[in-house]
Amino acid sequence: MRVALFPTCVNDAIHPRTGQAVVALLERLGVQVDFPAAQTCCGQPQYNTGYRRATEPLVRRMAGAFAGYDHVVTPSGSCTAMVRDNYPRIGAKARTEGRGDGLARAAASLVPRVLELTEFLVDVLGVSDVGAYYPHRVSYHPSCHGLRMLGLGDRPRRLLEAVEGLELVELPGAEECCGFGGTFAVKNPDVSAAMGADKVRNALSTGAEVLCGADNSCLLHIGGTLRRADAPMRAVHLAEILACTRADPTGTGWATPRARSSA
């Protein structure tokens, strides 16, 4: 089984720790992962802002970079949804516009192999207990694209419930959008901030120390709102919780090369 990691551009540039956590987690589960360096970005920000044509080279790039892998695993529901829902549309539109079916074929070759992290863990590896240890009170925010477009269902919850030491507390209004919305966050900053404030208020009402999510773009917004308020809560990606173990409860070893000498 050849597995490629698509950490996403956000995690590559801003939050590499999440990518490192996925590598540590998957290798612990016996999966060897690769990071094809030709990858960059799925094109979601451009596409969702109305720049479909600017996304086309990225569809080709993604398909090329991940050719030959059985699975492409990504710790982002929204980037997975971008590929799954929108790449076929981009290909179909290019064909309708008389520009051949190259893009449609590129999309079709990639789409079925791209999986969000919890899909890969639960559906492909068939695990819900990944052997993690995380002795904290945690609430979970299911980001919109994972929740409604991918239909992740209870996969993240099952994974979290199996974590040793973790106390999972219900987030009021969990299914409501946090207000990030990509460029929405800066195009409509007042509404975005109002939604973020409500999300944070709900999160703080749980008394949890950690708000867990499976999309770091949403967590940048929620976490930034929490930090601005000096709130006693931090936003942590699900992968970083699942990668913690009794032997390494804070993930200090993820970044050190010796953990993965197999390559």
Partner 1 sequence: MSDTYLGMPSFPQAKASTRDTRLRANLTHATRTIRDKRARAVAELDDWAQLREAGKRIKDRTLRHLDDHLVQLEQNVTAAGGTVHWAADAAEANRIVADLVKATGEREVVKVKSMATQEIELNEALAAEGITAYETDLAELIVQLGEDRPSHILVPAIHRNRGEVRDIFAAKMGEWGRPAPEGLGDSPAELAEAARLHLREKFLRAKVGISGANFMVAETGTLVVVESEGNGRMCLTLPETLISVVGIEKVLPTWRDLEVFLQLLPRSSTAERMNPYTSFWTGTSDGDGPRNFHLVLLDNGRTDTLADEVGRQALRCIRCSACLNVCPVYERAGGHAYGSVYPGPIGAILTPQLRGTASAVDASLPFASTLCGACYEVCPVAIDIPEVLVHLREQVVERDGPGHRTERAVVRAGSWLLDHPAALGAVERWASRTRGLHPRRLPTAVARAWTDSRDLPELPEAPFRDWWRKSR
Contacts with partner 1 by CB under 8 A lie at 7, 9, 11-17, 19-20, 35, 37-41, 43, 46-52, 54, 57-58, 61, 86, 89, 144-145, 148-149, 175-177, 179-197, 220-221, 223-225, 227-228, 255-257, 260, 263
Element (H, E) at 167: strand 167-169
User: At closest approach, how far in Å is the CB of 103 from partner 1?
Assistant: 14
- Give whichever of 163 and 225 is closer to partner 1, judged by the CB atom: 225
The string of DSSP codes covering 118-130 is HHIIIIIS--S--
- Give whichever of 16 and 135 is closer to partner 1, judged by the CB atom: 16
User: At closest approach, how far in Å is the CB of 241 from partner 1?
Assistant: 18
- Give whichever of 48 and 109 is closer to partner 1, judged by the CB atom: 48
User: At closest approach, how far in Å is the CB of 168 from partner 1?
Assistant: 23
Give the CA distances from residue 82 to residues 9, 137, 174, in Å, rounded to whole numbers and listed in that order: 13, 32, 22
Sign of the dihedral defined by the CA atoms of residues 56, 61, 62, 67, in that order: positive
User: At closest approach, how far in Å is the CB of 19 from partner 1?
Assistant: 4
d(Cα 191, Cα 226) in Å, to the nearest integer?
Answer: 17
- Give whichever of 43 and 251 is closer to partner 1, judged by the CB atom: 43
The angle at the Cα of 23, spanning 19 to 25, to the nearest 5 degrees, equals: 110
The angle at the Cα of 174, spanning 173 to 176, to the nearest 5 degrees, equals: 70
User: At closest approach, how far in Å is the CB of 203 from partner 1?
Assistant: 14
